[in-house]
Structures are given as structure tokens and as C-alpha cells.
């Protein structure tokens, strides 16, 4: 199997540095990193790209070297990077490209280093620059673009996003309605590179980009990685459905302290994510319960996340009962293996000729594109069937 180049938007962020450092250590130490779906036999037998054959690069807007960022991001010192100088060299050798800040909102612009971000004045030049960078990075290898950048402010869908033609015209006109995540997605799909949106930002979900993916026969998937509270929610909600118990209240408080949390402390950016988290419940239950989701930024949490959910439900003859759960996750370590799974799987999809939205990848996302299915087990059954189908086709073609 040939090499896979993974181009990460938000290369210096927590998920990215944890995932890259973890893979580099695993390959060096010849151990499995764990927590990979694609290591399970039903997926592995499809011929997944090997971890040692993955190469990383990406875009970022911050002035900090990869190693320093990686140490800061792993606040719990799980990877013990401070005493791993071999990793220092490898991390700092990874190609970093200047990122886009144009139209990205105040919270994100505040993070940007002047020399670290693209300063093109026209949007079309910016896009062309990004496309050239991608083409160059890809070379003749397999390649995937993944969006791991901070959540953008909510984009209001309009005519601009409705067709590829209007979208391309808007780029030429330097439209304010086009945010960085749209430009990256456009550039990737234009270059026929599979694209994964792991963030709550709009990414490739707009009609114009779905159209482009179809035209160019490229697979894409998203959005918003399902790593914590929502993961539990989509496993637990089925219980209430199956027992025909009426959920009255589902309240969730999420406390986090990393960059993701800091950006979400800005209410414009948070609304994107809260919507993503809330709509899940209705889709799982089939009705609207009284539900609230809070995202609280409290710096001392670092990369740790605590979510507390309170569920009040009504059973037989009106009996009121409760369930609470508390989830203590380390966000980047939950997200990293999902990203690896996704790049392996979408690369495989591309090689098998799948294109457009791959809705079988819903199991990885809080707001899965192309489907309303949110039940975790049923999502898993879908991707398992997808894997079995490709395996069987291959066997038949062999």
C-alpha cells in the first residue's frame, strides 16, 4: 500500500499534535496506539493504510513551533513529550503552511501571528495559493484534508452558498459570506482531495460544495467529531426509546479549558456547537424534550473535560425517575483516534470510487452530513455493513 499524506487545517491545535505525536511514538515503539476502529478485523482486512505510511503536514495561523505546541497541548503529560527529543525533531520537521484568517471573526483572528497567516488581499489569490500548496504537498501520493481548526462563527446560509457557480462568483467578489473553512474545503475538493470536517464549522456541507464533490467525484464527510457528552447521549437515548420512557428533561453542562473551550466562550462561536449538540437529542428520541446544553470555559481544566448530564423521565403511571452521568474525558485523546480512522477510511472510500457525502461515516460525528441517523449502535451497524460490502465486492472481483 502506498503512502498517505494527511493535510491538517489547525495543525498546531490539541487534536493535531496529540494525534501526530501519538502516531509517531506508536510507530517508533512498534505498539498499537489503541482506540482505533480501523484496527478491528472487519475494517483492517480491507487493507487500511499502515500508520507508518502516513505523513503529516498542514495549515496554521499561530507563531509557535510544533514541539512547543505539542507539549502545551498535552497538559496531562500523557505522552511524556518533554523528555522525548526524538519526537521534537520529527514534529519540527513537519511542513507548516500559512493559514487563512480572512472573515474568520474576532475570536479566531486574535490567535493569528502576522507572519504565520496568509496576507493575500483577494480571495481568489488566497484560494489559488491554498490549492497550489495542496497540489505540491500531495505530489503523486494519496492525500486527505482534515479540518481540525477552531470553531468558526455561524455562517448564515444564503444564495451565495446554493450553487457552485454562485459560490465561485462570490469568491471572485471577495464575499464576506465566505469563511476560511469554506475556502479550504473548496480548495481540497477542487484538487480532488477527499475532505473531512471534524469541527462544528459549516465546512463542505453547503450545497455548492456538495455539488463540487459530485462533479469532481471526491468523497467528503463531516461534521463535528462525536467524542464526549454527545457520544454518551447517542448511546443512552436509545434506552429511553426502547423502554418507551418519556424524557422530560435532558440537561448537560460541559466544562472545558483548552483552546476549543476558549473559542467557544465567545457566544457567536458557541452557538454553532450548541446547536450541533442539541439537535441530536430530538433526532434520537423522535420528540422534543426540554433540553439545554451549556459549554463553559474554565481555564484550569486544561485539556480535561467534565460533562454532567441530568435526565428526568416519566415511566409507568406517571412515576418520575432520574439518571445522571458524569463524563471525565481528555478531549484530544478522544478525538485523535477518530481522525486517524476517518483519514484511513475516506482514503479507502476514494480508492474504491465512493464519492459525495459518505453518510456511513456518521458514527464519528455529532451532526452527521447526509443522514438523520444519530443512534450510535445503528450508525456503527451502517459503517460495518459498508465495510463488509466493500470486502465482499473485492473478494468477488478478485
Residue ranges in 243-262 that form contacts with its own copies under rule CB under 8 A: 243-246, 248-249, 251, 253, 255
Question: Considering the complex, what minimum distance in angstroms separates the CB of residue 44 from its own copies?
Answer: 11
Residue of 294, 351, 356, 391 interacting with its own copies (CB under 8 A): 294
Asked if 42 touches its own copies (CB under 8 A), the answer is: no
Residue of 157, 215, 298, 388 interacting with its own copies (CB under 8 A): 298
Q: How far apart are CA 275 and CA 280, in angstroms?
A: 9
Asked if 78 touches its own copies (CB under 8 A), the answer is: yes
Asked if 79 touches its own copies (CB under 8 A), the answer is: yes
Give the DSSP letter string of 309-348.
EEEEEE-GGG-EEEEEEEEEEEHHHHHHHHHHHHHHHHHH
Asked if 376 touches its own copies (CB under 8 A), the answer is: yes
Cβ atoms of residues 163 and 182 within 8 Å? no
Question: Of 200, 179, 150, nearest to 13 (Cα)?
Answer: 150
Residue of 198, 329, 350, 386 interacting with its own copies (CB under 8 A): 329
Q: What DSSP designation does 286 have?
A: S
Grid coordinates standing for 118?
A: 496568509
Map residues 173-212 to x or -, x wherever contact with its own copies holds by CB under 8 A: ----------------------------------------
Residue of 115, 121, 316, 396 interacting with its own copies (CB under 8 A): 316
Asked if 287 touches its own copies (CB under 8 A), the answer is: no
Residue of 61, 306, 346, 387 interacting with its own copies (CB under 8 A): 306
Instruction: Give how far Cα 133 sits from Cα of 95, 117, 126, 175, 188, Å.
Output: 11, 14, 11, 23, 10
Number of residues that bind its own copies (CB under 8 A): 73
Question: Considering the complex, what minimum distance in angstroms separates the CB of residue 94 from its own copies?
Answer: 18
Asked if 83 touches its own copies (CB under 8 A), the answer is: yes
Asked if 282 touches its own copies (CB under 8 A), the answer is: no
- Largest Cα separation within the chain, whole Å, is 66
Residue of 41, 139, 318, 353 interacting with its own copies (CB under 8 A): 318
Question: Considering the complex, what minimum distance in angstroms separates the CB of residue 121 from its own copies?
Answer: 41
Map residues 336-355 to x or -, x wherever contact with its own copies holds by CB under 8 A: xx------------------
Asked if 132 touches its own copies (CB under 8 A), the answer is: no
Name the residue nearer to its own copies (CB basis): 314 or 393.
Answer: 314
How buried is residue 287: exposed, middle or buried, by Cβ count under 10 Å (0-12/13-18/19+)? Answer: exposed
Question: Of 152, 57, 139, nearest to 105 (Cα)?
Answer: 152
Residue of 238, 262, 265, 275 interacting with its own copies (CB under 8 A): 238
Question: Considering the complex, what minimum distance in angstroms separates the CB of residue 78 from its own copies?
Answer: 5
Grid coordinates standing for 12?
A: 498546531
- Tally of CB atoms within 10 A around 149: 30
Grid coordinates standing for 164?
A: 457552485
Asked if 218 touches its own copies (CB under 8 A), the answer is: no
Question: Considering the complex, what minimum distance in angstroms separates the CB of residue 364 from its own copies?
Answer: 10
Question: Considering the complex, what minimum distance in angstroms separates the CB of residue 222 from its own copies?
Answer: 18
Asked if 85 touches its own copies (CB under 8 A), the answer is: no
Q: How far apart are CA 180 and CA 192, in angstroms?
A: 18
Q: Which helix (H) or strand (E) holds 58?
A: strand 54-60
Residue of 125, 158, 267, 326 interacting with its own copies (CB under 8 A): 326
Residue of 63, 86, 125, 315 interacting with its own copies (CB under 8 A): 315
Asked if 33 touches its own copies (CB under 8 A), the answer is: yes
Name the residue nearer to its own copies (CB basis): 64 or 235.
Answer: 235
Name the residue nearer to its own copies (CB basis): 326 or 392.
Answer: 326
Grid coordinates standing for 278?
A: 442539541
- Tally of CB atoms within 10 A around 320: 10
How buried is residue 125: exposed, middle or buried, by Cβ count under 10 Å (0-12/13-18/19+)? Answer: exposed
For 43-53, give one letter per residue: b (16+ CB within 10 A) or e: beebebbebee
Amino acid at each position: 500500500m502506498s503512502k498517505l499524506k494527511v493535510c491538517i487545517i489547525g495543525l498546531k491545535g490539541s487534536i493535531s499534535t496529540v494525534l501526530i505525536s501519538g502516531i509517531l511514538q506508536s510507530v517508533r515503539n512498534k505498539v498499537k496506539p489503541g482506540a482505533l476502529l480501523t484496527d478491528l478485523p472487519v475494517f483492517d482486512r480491507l487493507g487500511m493504510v499502515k500508520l507508518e505510511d502516513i505523513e503529516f503536514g498542514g495549515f496554521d495561523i499561530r507563531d509557535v513551533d510544533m514541539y512547543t505546541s505539542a507539549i502545551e497541548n498535552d497538559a496531562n503529560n500523557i505522552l511524556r513529550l518533554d523528555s522525548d527529543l526524538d519526537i521534537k525533531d520529527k514534529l519540527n520537521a513537519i511542513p507548516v503552511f500559512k493559514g487563512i484568517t480572512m472573515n474568520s471573526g474576532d475570536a479566531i483572528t486574535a490567535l493569528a501571528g502576522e507572519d504565520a497567516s496568509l496576507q493575500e488581499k483577494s480571495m481568489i489569490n488566497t484560494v489559488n495559493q491554498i490549492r497550489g500548496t495542496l497540489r505540491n504537498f500531495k505530489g503523486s501520493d494519496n492525500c486527505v484534508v482534515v479540518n481540525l481548526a477552531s470553531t468558526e462563527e455561524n455562517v448564515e446560509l444564503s444564495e451565495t452558498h446554493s450553487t457552485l457557480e454562485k459560490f465561485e462568483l462570490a469568491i471572485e467578489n471577495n464575499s464576506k459570506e465566505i469563511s476560511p473553512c469554506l475556502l479550504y474545503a473548496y480548495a481540497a475538493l477542487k484538487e480532488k482531495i477527499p475532505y473531512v470536517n471534524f469541527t462544528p464549522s459549516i465546512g463542505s456541507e453547503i450545497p455548492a460544495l456538495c455539488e463540487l464533490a459530485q462533479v469532481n467525484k471526491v468523497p467528503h464527510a463531516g461534521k463535528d467529531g462525536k467524542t464526549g457528552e454527545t457520544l454518551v447521549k447517542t448511546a443512552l437515548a436509545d434506552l429511553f426509546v426502547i423502554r418507551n420512557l418519556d424524557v422530560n428533561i435532558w440537561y448537560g453542562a460541559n466544562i472545558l479549558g483548552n483552546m476549543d473551550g476558549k473559542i467557544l466562550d465567545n457566544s457567536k462561536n458557541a452557538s454553532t456547537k450548541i446547536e450541533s449538540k442539541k439537535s441530536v437529542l430530538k433526532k434520537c428520541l423522535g420528540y422534543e424534550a426540554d433540553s439545554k446544553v451549556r459549554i463553559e470555559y474554565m481555564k484550569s481544566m486544561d485539556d480535561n473535560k467534565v460533562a454532567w448530564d441530568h435526565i428526568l423521565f416519566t415511566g409507568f403511571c406517571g412515576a418520575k425517575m432520574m439518571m445522571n452521568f458524569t463524563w471525565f474525558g481528555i478531549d484530544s485523546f478522544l478525538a485523535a483516534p477518530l481522525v486517524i480512522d476517518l483519514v484511513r477510511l475516506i482514503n479507502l472510500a476514494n480508492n474504491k470510487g465512493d464519492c459525495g457525502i459518505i453518510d456511513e461515516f456518521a458514527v464519528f460525528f455529532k451532526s452527521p452530513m447526509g443522514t438523520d441517523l444519530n443512534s450510535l449502535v445503528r450508525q456503527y451497524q451502517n459503517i460495518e455493513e459498508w465495510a463488509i460490502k466493500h470486502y465482499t465486492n473485492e473478494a468477488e472481483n478478485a
